[in-house]
Amino acid sequence: MITLWSAFTPEQRRNIGIYVLGIMCYKFALEYFNGSFITQANERFGARRFEKIAILTGTNYAAQCIGSIIVAPLIKCFPTRTVLAVAVLTFGIISCVPLIADAATGGVLKYKTANNKTKYGTWSPNGLFPIYVVSGISYGTVELIRRVIPRDIVGGDVDRLRKMDAFVHVMYEVAGTTGAFTSTSLIGYFGYNYSAFLSPVLFTLAACIWIWISSLGESQRSEEESRLARVEVENRGIFMSMVDGVRAFIKAFWYGGYLIFTDRRFIWLVPGYAFALYGHRYLENGLAPIYARAIIGVSSYSQIIVGGSNFGELLGALSVMLFTQAVPTPMPWLRLDALLLNLVWVMPFFPYKRGAVASAWKLAAVFTPISYGWAAGDVSLAAYIQSTLAKMEAKDKDVSALGAVMAFLYVTYIVMYSLISTFLGRWVDKRLRGLTGVAAINRARDCLKYVGGVHFTILSVIIIAATFIPKGSVSFNPKAIDQSLLKADEESDSSSQDDIKEAKYQERDSFAPQDIQGDAVGALAQNTAARVPTRS
């Protein structure tokens, strides 16, 4: 820790401290908001609850893409820290809406009710949809700016960027795990409708903290060299800049699909990244709510289960950081991820006690290794994609190969989640309709055999098969996979251009504002814990 901290200047340490404090407040607020939101939806949506929860989360993910697209025009007009603070403050305002709506229509704090049961207001639960869409836009904005802030703080030094990203990622996951676990206690005392009362406070606190980050201007000092500063020489305005952002996204999506489906070196990334990410999201947002509501009988316990998943993510990311040299490619991690997916088969047969929190804690322990495998695979794969595709020159100067491929993979995951989870949710609702008591529990456990066991086994087989597609990937722990891209790149460059190319590789190890002008969704999809030098 001392070595890590001493790598930065006093001013950088101050800014990193402020940034980490703000991001932990933000993550706590996010966990409380999402925990209250999803569990409240699980309680109030009635007979179509699981279908509507799938639609709710799917639209939120789509809104995140919109939020990422509007970032580039905004940070051209305002300091990055200001845009970040305003986006988080907006998130805080949005998180107040369900609280105000419930209080205005007769909702009561749980501990103030006569029977200590949640009393909701009379407002329609369908109002959750527009609230979650707007919050998704804010979330997408914040998440993308998080990719830019490190470069604003420490500049382009690759070693410092790696250390800062690793430290921030660990603290972010610590806050996420703690927030998920404590969310259940808040719900138990204040009720599903008021358990997120801390979210507006913490979002606002994060915004106030982040506004104190010094404008080091590392990226701004090289503004004349930035494509972002050169676009729209004429004053087109923010709206037209956003329209250009949408056009750039469409172009990036098409180019990314072309690269992936016309080259063996990239086709395996669809199951390796998109399918795996889809499985992880469905694990947390699909299977956990079904088990908590239909089997244990307490929707809020899904947050305990998700907390176990978050803890697994933390361990997975740490493992990749520790074993980078021993496991140089993502293949072993992806295969481990695919194998661990089959642990969901325990859910239909898992011992439970109706209403007992111990049942949720036990299942959380099962979710930990599942998410460990996913996080390890995700971080290592993101690092591989970044280091490999950064070497590939894009045919279009406005779209990088890296951003285009990541945009295509991320949108593929969103479409998969929206369609498949909605279909599965509708099927589960139909199977449970009209049943109560033991009959409903037994039917829910039977449903988990298909939406959990069979579903995830299919994902497991596809992901494992995909890991054998690239050349040189057959061994258990390959030292390198498909180096043809690197060889072609080296052969196409003259020796006089080596230093220039190396500088480009190093620059692309981190996000600068110009990286998100046309590749916003692609940048949003990239894991901040995966910053690695492209050449040793």
Q: What are phi and psi of 157, to 5 degrees?
A: -65, 115
Please give, one letter per residue, the 3-state secondary structure of 90-122: HHHHHHHHHHHHHHHCCCECHHHCCCCCCECCC
Contact status, residue 492 vs residue 516, Cβ threshold 8 Å: no
Q: What is the mean pLDDT of residues 440-452?
A: 96
Residue keyed to tokens 């007009």: 77
- Distance, in Å, from the CA atom of 102 to the CA atom of 123, rounded to the nearest integer, reads 7
Domain contains 534? no
Evaluate the CA torsion angle 95, 183, 141, 125 in order and state its sign.
negative
By C-alpha distance, which of 170, 134, 169, 144 is closest to 37? 134
Domain region containing 289? 2-529
Please report, as a single letter, which amino acid is at residue 536: S
Locate 192 and state its tokens. Answer: 């599903």
- For residue 394, the model assigns a pLDDT of 52
Helices (H) and strands (E) in the chain, counts: 25, 0
* 535 within a domain of the structure (yes/no): no
Match 């089959």 to its residue by tokens.
342
- Give CA angle at 158 (152, 159), nearest 5°: 110
Which of 4-18, 198-212, 282-296, 488-502 shows the lowest per-residue confidence on average (mean pLDDT)? Answer: 488-502
- Pick from 65-79, 410-424, 500-514: least confident: 500-514
Residue 249 lies in a domain: yes
Measured distance CA(59)–CA(26) in Å, rounded: 22
User: Residue 178 domain-assigned?
Assistant: yes
188 pLDDT more than 70? yes
Q: What is the pLDDT of residues 298-339, one digit of tens each?
A: 999 999 999 999 999 999 988 887 887 788 888 999 999 999
Nearest to 51 by CA among 119, 130, 129, 118: 129
Examine residue 524 and state whether it is found in any structural domain, yes or no: yes
Cβ atoms 198, 32 nearer than 8 A: yes
Tell me if the pTM is above 0.75: yes
Distance CA 24, CA 19 (A): 9
Could you count the other beta carbons within 10 Å of the beta carbon of residue 6?
Answer: 8
Q: How far apart are CA 251 and CA 274, in angstroms?
A: 19
Q: CB-based contacts of 267: which residues, under 8 Å, 6+ apart?
A: 260, 261, 469
What integer is the mean pLDDT of 399-403? Answer: 74
User: Mean pLDDT for the chain?
Assistant: 83
According to the 3-state scheme, what is the secondary structure of 309-344?
A: HHHHHHHHHHHHHHCCCCCCCCHHHHHHHHHHHHHH
Rounded to whole angstroms, the Cα distance separating 266 from 109 reads: 52
First-to-last alpha carbon distance for the chain, in angstroms, is: 23
- Per the listing, tokens 């940070």 go with 75
- Judge whether 160 and 12 are in contact, CB under 8 Å: yes
Q: What is the DSSP letter of 394?
A: P
CATH number, domain with residue 247: 1.20.1250.20
Q: What is the pLDDT of residues 96-119, one digit of tens each?
A: 999 999 999 999 999 999 888 889
pLDDT at position 515 over 60: no
Cα separation, 135 vs 90, whole angstroms: 8
Task: Identify the top-confidence range among 129-133, 142-146, 235-239.
Answer: 129-133
Residue 306 falls inside a structural domain: yes
Please compute, for residue 5, the number of CA atoms within 13 A of its CA located in the half-sphere on the CB side.
6
Residue 468: is its pLDDT beyond 60? Answer: yes
156 to each of 220, 247, 384, 489, 506, how far by Cα in Å? 12, 29, 20, 23, 8
How many structural domains does the chain have? 1
User: CA-to-CA distance for 212 and 19, rounded, in angstroms?
Assistant: 9
Determine the angle formed by the axes of helices 302-322 and 10-44, rounding to 10 degrees.
Answer: 150
- Asked, for residue 536, whether it belongs to a domain, the answer is no
pLDDT the model gives residue 505: 43
Tokens of 40: 């409240």
